[in-house]
Chain A
Amino acid sequence: DAGVIQSPRHEVTEMGQEVTLRCKPISGHNSLFWYRQTMMRGLELLIYFNNNVPIDDSGMPEDRFSAKMPNASFSTLKIQPSEPRDSAVYFCASSFRQGITGNTIYFGEGSWLTVV
């Protein structure tokens, strides 16, 4: 299994530019999560999808952030326009519910974003 694949791994961009982060979940998983991690705020859940449908986006910081999941194998997190305070590591994760025995969430390696 290839695991959760994220791209780009690293990105440096100028303030005001649009940033698009991409994620390919593990094949067969039906839930996808976007997290953001910073030293100050730790690991924050931004949004999660179930069967390609956004279930909870209450963690999305503001309207500059948007996420889509057009199909079961692809998701994007977009920031437009980007600001320096958006600098963070963005993790994508996926999981598959296994009935009453619970399930686990598998994380990608993260996309390291720096906005200057």
Chain B
Amino acid sequence: LAKTTQPISMDSYEGQEVNITCSHNNIATNDYITWYQQFPSQGPRFIIQGYKTKVTNEVASLFIPADRKSSTLSLPRVSLSDTAVYYCLVGDLGNTGFQKLVFGTGTRLLVSP
């Protein structure tokens, strides 16, 4: 399984764009990159998933360079409610039939007024 490395914590202010980068140097050909968000006292929640280039949804954007050894989660104009822990995961979710996602330590984002 590809190991991921991301910053332990980040601070931001309301209205700013936040970019959280995750390193996954040994990502395999069949691996997808997935980001989850976890609020206190809740289970992790899916944010976005991608394989290459750029993916955008109503919540965030995910930028993946051509070598796929890293990825960046971009949260536009964060609000106080975006304060949470963000996890980057890499795993084969497709053709093997089975998947096993291992969560790293995550990035604790604190958004201040």
Contacts and interface: CB of A to CB of B under 8 A. Distances in A.
Contacts of B102: 45
Nearest to A45: B102
B46 A102 contact: no
A109 B43 contact: yes
Given A100-B95, A104-B49, A110 B43 contact: yes
Contacts of A95: 99
A91 interface: yes
A56 B42 CA distance: 25
Contacts of B106: 42-43
B99 A97 contact: yes
Name the prevailing secondary structure of the A interface residues. strand
A77 to B, nearest CB: 15
B101 A91 contact: no
Nearest to A112: B41
Nearest to B47: A104
Interface string A1-18: 000100000000000000
Contact of B99 (A4, A31, A91, A108): A31
Interface of A: 4, 31, 33, 35, 42-45, 48, 50, 55-56, 91, 93, 95, 97, 99-110
Interface of B: 32, 34, 41-46, 49, 51, 87, 93-95, 97-106
